[in-house]
């Protein structure tokens, strides 16, 4: 049966109308996997020697174990955003004489062979090989490695759960932030706790039974969770909700773009995915705490510029990358109306601008870290307003992946709305501000770099109409391709 499922997946990929686009994305993903996999292997080989020099009085294995708890929490948060769950159209299979247990097992087994599981092993296996080469007891090293492999599987199945419920994700992020803060100010030493937990897996190899049993328990939990939804009437039945209405008459003062802005505000208020993006943008305001509170980042203007872009541009980057995918469910209807594209795009741009302004106001307390830091945040806010907003909006013209507003990514449908095109268009958004800042900074100093970054945003605002007109033409050219792509779900 597994062979049959693999054959169906193969045919689905090659017979898709978007086969060429899918092939390009797969090639880019393979290149990215080889790159990051290679980095992990190199780190695994040389980490022992690097840690010996960095912390000469501590066993490198102990040093690694001290930070494995942060690796667990960090990987869970990373997987929530980046690890796309496997997709399988189960409706046609439900009317065939195929046992549902076989389908669910295939679905869960697909998650085991994800690159996100392999990337950790690309580090731990070479590191364990170095430990064996250095004379560490083979039985203990292999027990430790097997335990970490089991923990990787646990993280995989936990990600399956937290992708169903955002509450789990917020709990994990809160625990990670709290543990970092408590450890930094010596309230509780989480590095010591991490060391005692993970080093015991090395000292007592028999404890490998615990993560193995935990991985098995999580597998069965996910199996039962999916099995409860594995009914045709449960899949196709729509959940009826009472719609809340809000008085948005104050938006009418904004003129022609008011109807579009009202539509977007209602969309964010009523649907899960936009709410997640809104909350993510809010959390990005605190992104600077990670960089500005650690001595290793304080005097590094690359990280200051990087953090500043995210502090004020979190909502812009997360919401803007899904334009026009937010409207994919009714995009064909919109395009059949006499709607000026310019006003539609201007409304999206205006909403992103409001997000940047609110984030900037919330970032005022960063003055505590110094006027230079806040000056960089202010310049980054102007860059986000005047350039990043247009770059992000332009990237939307190349994004033709539909988004289901009220459904998170799950085993039965792909609702991620993110693709390799978006990843490529994010390069100028990330590197652009740094390049604009670093060139004048290198020749004329910090103030010149900040002024250059701020001026780039001001110039963008001055030429707002020109940029929007240019983006409008791009959207118009790809209008029918976008409609066709959104229709293919």
pLDDT tens by residue, 312-353: 888 888 888 778 888 777 778 777 777 777 888 888 888 888
Report DSSP letters for 250-275, one per residue. GGGGGGGGHHHHHHHHHHHHH-HHHH
Name the residue ranges covered by the structural domains of the chain. 2-6+15-236, 249-487
Per-residue pLDDT of 62-81, as tens digits, reads 999 988 988 887 787 777 76
Q: Note the pLDDT of residue 266.
A: 79
What percent of the chain is predicted at pLDDT more than 90? 13
No. of helices (H) and no. of strands (E), the chain:
25, 0
- Check whether 143 has a pLDDT greater than 90: yes
Reply yes or no: is the peptide bond before residue 66 cis, omega within 30 of 0.
no
410: phi then psi, degrees, rounded to nearest 5: -145, -175
- Check whether 366 has a pLDDT greater than 50: yes
Regarding predicted confidence, which is higher, 154 or 36?
154
Q: Note the pLDDT of residue 146.
A: 94
445: left (phi over 0), alpha (psi -120 to 50) or beta: left
Q: Distance between CA atoms of 236 and 29, rounded to whole angstroms?
A: 32
Q: What contacts 175, CB < 8 A, 6 or more positions away?
A: 73
Measuring CA to CA, how many Å separate 412 from each of 86, 121, 408, 487?
8, 28, 10, 17
Neighbours of 240 (CB within 10 A): 6
Regarding predicted confidence, which is higher, 47 or 416?
47
Q: What contacts 63, CB < 8 A, 6 or more positions away?
A: 51, 54, 55
Instruction: Please provide the average confidence, as pLDDT, over all residues in the chain.
Output: 78
Per-residue pLDDT of 203-238, as tens digits, reads 998 999 999 999 999 999 888 887 877 665 554 444
Sign of CA dihedral 128, 132, 134, 140: positive
* Stretch among 10-19, 129-138, 203-212, 232-241 having the lowest mean pLDDT: 232-241
Tell how far CA 411 is from the center of its chain: 18
Contact 161, 225 (CB under 8 A): yes
- Check whether 188 has a pLDDT greater than 60: yes
Closest CA to 34 of 99, 92, 146, 115: 115
* Stretch among 179-183, 221-225, 253-257 having the lowest mean pLDDT: 253-257
Sign of CA dihedral 188, 189, 191, 193: negative
Closest CA to 457 of 382, 391, 404: 382
What would the mean pLDDT of 89-118 be, rounded to a whole number?
Answer: 74
Regarding predicted confidence, which is higher, 353 or 182?
353
SS3 of residue 241 by DSSP:
coil
How far the first Cα of the chain sits from its last, in Å, is: 25
Measuring CA to CA, how many Å separate 220 from each of 77, 92, 157, 194, 214?
23, 25, 10, 27, 10
- Check whether 158 has a pLDDT greater than 60: yes
Q: Distance between CA atoms of 148 and 36, rounded to whole angstroms?
A: 19
Q: What contacts 316, CB < 8 A, 6 or more positions away?
A: 281, 352, 355, 356, 384, 388, 389, 392
What would the mean pLDDT of 405-430 be, rounded to a whole number?
Answer: 54
- Check whether 396 has a pLDDT greater than 50: yes
Q: Distance between CA atoms of 414 and 423, rounded to whole angstroms?
A: 18
Residue 413: strand pairing partners: 410
What would the mean pLDDT of 155-171 be, rounded to a whole number?
Answer: 73
* Stretch among 19-33, 195-209, 451-465 having the lowest mean pLDDT: 19-33
- Check whether 34 has a pLDDT greater than 90: no
Per-residue pLDDT of 287-315, as tens digits, reads 777 777 766 666 677 777 778 888 888 88
SS3 of residue 410 by DSSP:
strand
Closest CA to 222 of 111, 80, 79: 111
DSSP 240: P
- Check whether 419 has a pLDDT greater than 80: no
* Stretch among 41-50, 355-364, 473-482 having the lowest mean pLDDT: 473-482
Regarding predicted confidence, which is higher, 93 or 259?
259
- Check whether 89 has a pLDDT greater than 60: no
């Amino acid at each position: 049966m597994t062979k049959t499922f693999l054959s169906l997946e193969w045919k689905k990929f090659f017979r898709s109308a978007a086969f060429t686009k899918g092939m390009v994305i797969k090639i880019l993903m393979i290149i990215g996997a080889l790159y990051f996999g290679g980095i992990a292997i190199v780190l695994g080989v040389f980490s022992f020697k690097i840690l010996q020099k960095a912390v000469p009085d501590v066993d490198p294995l102990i040093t690694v174990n001290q930070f494995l708890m942060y690796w667990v929490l960090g990987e869970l948060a990373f997987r929530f955003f980046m690890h796309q769950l496997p997709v399988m159209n189960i409706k046609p299979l439900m009317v065939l004489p195929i046992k549902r247990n076989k389908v669910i097992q295939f679905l869960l087994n697909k998650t085991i062979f994800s690159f996100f599981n392999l990337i950790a092993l690309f580090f731990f296996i070479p590191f364990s090989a170095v430990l064996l080469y250095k004379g560490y007891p083979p039985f203990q090293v292999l027990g430790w490695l097997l335990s970490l492999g089991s923990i990787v599987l646990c993280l995989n199945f936990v990600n399956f759960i937290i992708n169903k419920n955002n509450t789990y994700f917020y709990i994990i992020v809160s625990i990670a932030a709290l543990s970092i803060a408590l450890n930094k100010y010596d309230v509780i030493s989480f590095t010591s706790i991490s060391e005692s937990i993970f080093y015991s897996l090395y000292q007592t190899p028999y404890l490998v039974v615990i993560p193995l049993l935990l991985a098995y328990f999580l597998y069965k939990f996910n199996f039962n969770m999916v099995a409860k939804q594995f009914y045709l009437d449960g899949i196709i039945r729509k959940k009826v909700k009472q719609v809340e209405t809000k008085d948005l008459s104050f938006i009418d003062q904004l003129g022609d773009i008011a109807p579009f802005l009202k539509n977007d505000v209602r969309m964010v208020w009523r649907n899960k995915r936009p709410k997640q993006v809104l909350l993510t943008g809010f959390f990005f305001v605190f992104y600077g705490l990670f960089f500005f509170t650690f001595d290793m980042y304080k005097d590094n203007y690359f990280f200051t510029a990087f953090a500043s872009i995210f502090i004020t541009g979190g909502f812009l980057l997360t919401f803007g990358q899904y334009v026009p995918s937010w409207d994919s469910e009714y995009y064909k209807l919109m395009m059949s109306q006499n709607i000026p594209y310019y006003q539609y795009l201007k409304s999206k741009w205006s909403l992103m601008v409001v997000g940047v302004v609110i984030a900037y106001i919330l970032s005022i307390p960063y003055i505590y870290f110094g006027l230079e830091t806040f000056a960089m945040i202010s310049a980054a806010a102007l860059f986000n307003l005047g350039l990043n907003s247009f770059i992000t909006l332009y990237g939307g013209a190349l994004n033709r992946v539909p988004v289901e507003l009220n459904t998170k990514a799950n085993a039965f449908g792909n609702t991620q709305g993110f693709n390799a095109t978006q990843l490529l268009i994010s390069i100028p958004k990330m590197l652009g501000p740094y390049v604009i800042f670093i060139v004048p900074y290198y020749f004329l100093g910090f103030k010149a770099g900040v002024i250059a970054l701020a001026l780039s945003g001001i110039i963008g605002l001055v030429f707002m109409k020109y940029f929007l007109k240019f983006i409008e033409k791009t959207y118009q050219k790809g209008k029918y391709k976008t409609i066709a792509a959104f229709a293919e779900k």
